[in-house]
Amino acid sequence: MTFFAQQDWNGRGFVGGWSELDGTGTVTSPATGAELASVGFGSAGDLADAVSLAAAAQRDWAARPAEQRAAVMRRAAAVMEQHTDVLVGWLVDEAGSGQGKAAFEAGLVISELHHAAATALMPYGQLLQSSHPRLSLARRRPVGVVGVISPFNFPAILGSRSIFPALALGNAVVLKPDPRTSIAGGLFLAAVLEEAGLPAGVFAVVPGGADVGSALVEHPDVPVISFTGSTAAGRVIGERAGRLLKRAHLELGGNNAMIVLPDVDVAAAAAAGAWGSFLHQGQICMTTGRHIVHADIHDEYVELLAEKAEALRAGDPATGTPLGPIIDQRQRDHVHEIVTETVAAGAQLRAGGEYTDLFYQPTVLAEVRPDHRAFTDEIFGPVAPVIRFDEIDEAVDLVNASEYGLSVAILSGDAYRAFELGDRIPSGILHINDQTVDDESQAPFGGTGASGTGARFGGHEANIEAFTETQWVTVQSQIQRYPF
């Protein structure tokens, strides 16, 4: 039997197995406009069915020994390794990913599975001192059903980093993927877990629009929501979750800065800047959105960065072009609006600034000011705004002027000096002598300010904190005596 054969899942969701939902939606290639497949589109009723099945299945799943849950994760990793090419193909076709980016993302999914298997076997409590002659301990217990809402840009990994650790720790998961990437970001993951032997009902995929996401957030039997997406949507989800006394783990937008100090290898710095701004067409929350470059090397840096932008071409990634399309017309128009407004306000267009269909060419903007939209806004496109600075204090102020706090990079010939400078910049991630985009399953991931609620992904500690509750337990040999 062919793994992930389209006839098995076309037009369906995954609720207790491959199932018909109330509606269907068409999946279209952003590169070619071709119809790729259809998926089931759920309703609030479908979502309720998925949660009901998940809540029932979770009890038996949580009661299994941790080693059995870990074994399912390891088998899923083996399935992924065997069928990596299938996921890569869907990431290219459905998400517009370049071949290299798609392969990298598939590798991250495998790493997340191995890491989740290890998380299942981690220590899960503490022995506590007590004023009574008894055993006193704190232990972590699964929360029950975790709701995951994932985005389009890295659809497989940005869902996986919540799904797999939550499952490994004994929870059930209901996933609402972005409707534009419901195959690579949802149905494929369901097929992997099913093949690995995950019990029916423990994991569900209900594609759909904002109404399905809202129903997931509001459902009384889903105590934890893990959301990756825009800051605007995250604020709404966080507000609703707070009203319902739920936990919401929010990984949101970013307008990430890279400080380039005057003692760097300028060619190497420009290469890092190009990668940080143009990888996956800039559609990454960690994309380098602000290049803050010392005046002594500013002109050389801009020239080299523009050369790299001109050498990169956007096109159909299935043909091997390094950059693919913007996800849809609305997002492309948003990118172009920011570029044209910034140029009209006085910035210099040094490369790009044009598009064909959804293919937006890598763009470099020089002489950018702090009040320009390209500097203040998250663009989510292949645009590199460059601003100059003279003094270190000025660079720090430019970075800290943003409401976002996800990832910051500092490039310097003196790495320790850069490290000390990082202490002055609040940010969830700090990279010295690298650009702003990176991810590893064992590393904590999350931002501050408008970028989210801190590191709730990556690493055993963050995952256990995110997807379990703490319970205090005492045990004594005889019933405690009381005076009445």
Predicted confidence (pLDDT) per residue in 160-173, tens digit = 999 999 999 999 99
Token pair belonging to 144: 């029950």
| Residue 268 near residue 278, CB atoms below 8 Å | no
pLDDT of residue 148: 98
Picking from 270, 233, 268, the residue whose alpha carbon sits closest to that of residue 250 is 233
Question: Residues 409-452: pLDDT tens digits?
Answer: 999 999 999 999 999 999 999 999 999 999 999 998 999 999 99
Per-residue three-class SS string for the chain:
CCCCCHHHHCCCEECCCEECCCEEEEEECCCCCCEEEEEEECCHHHHHHHHHHHHHHHHHHHHCCHHHHHHHHHHHHHHHHHCHHHHHHHHHHHHCCCHHHHHHHHHHHHHHHHHHHHHHCCCCEEEECCCCCCEEEEEEEECCEEEEECCCCCHHHHHHHHHHHHHHCCCEEEEECCHHHCHHHHHHHHHHHHHCCCCCCCEEECCCCHHHHHHHHHCCCCCEEEEECCHHHHHHHHHHHHHCCCEEEEECCCCEEEEECCCCCHHHHHHHHHHHHHHHHHCCCCCEEEEEEEHHHHHHHHHHHHHHHHHCCECCHHHCCCECCCCCHHHHHHHHHHHHHHHHCCCEEEECCCEECCEECCEEEECCCCCCHHHHCCCCCCEEEEEEECCHHHHHHHHHCCCEECEEEEECCCHHHHHHHHCCCCCCEEEECCCCCCCCCCCCECCEECCECCCCECCHHHHHHHHEEEEEEEECCCCCCCCC
Four-point Cα dihedral 151, 467, 147, 118, nearest 10: 60
Domain with CATH 3.40.605.10 in the chain: 6-252+452-473
Neighbours of 20 (CB within 10 A): 12
Q: Residue 478: pLDDT band by 50, 70, 90 thresholds?
A: very high
Mean pLDDT in residue range 89-109: 97
- CA of residue 421 relative to chain centroid, distance: 27
Assign a CATH topology to domain 6-252+452-473.
Answer: Aldehyde Dehydrogenase; Chain A, domain 1 (3.40.605)
pLDDT of residue 336: 98
pLDDT of residue 454: 86
* Separation in Å, CA 212 to CA 54, 112, 219: 16, 26, 10
* Separation in Å, CA 182 to CA 24, 40, 185, 187, 219: 12, 9, 5, 6, 21
Q: Write the single-letter amino acid at 242.
A: G
* Active site annotation includes 440: no
Catalytic residue from among 285, 300, 303, 367: 285
> Is pTM, for the whole model, over 0.85?
yes
CATH for the 256-432 domain, from 3.40.630.10, 3.40.50.920, 3.40.309.10, 2.40.50.140:
3.40.309.10
Question: Residues 211-225: pLDDT tens digits?
Answer: 999 999 999 999 999
Token pair belonging to 346: 């006085």
Mean pLDDT in residue range 292-320: 97
Picking from 48, 24, 45, 47, the residue whose alpha carbon sits closest to that of residue 35 is 24
* Active site annotation includes 285: yes
Rounded CA separation 305/333 (Å): 24
Question: Residues 318-355: pLDDT tens digits?
Answer: 999 999 999 999 999 999 999 999 999 999 999 999 99
Residue 458 reports pLDDT greater than 90: no
Catalytic residue from among 94, 105, 112, 251: 251
Q: Residue 50: pLDDT band by 50, 70, 90 thresholds?
A: very high
pLDDT of residue 210: 94
| Residue count of the chain | 484
Domain with CATH 3.40.309.10 in the chain: 256-432
Average the pLDDT over each of 35-44, 138-147, 438-447 and give the range with the smallest value: 438-447
Measure CA of the first residue to CA of the last residue in the chain; give whole Å: 70
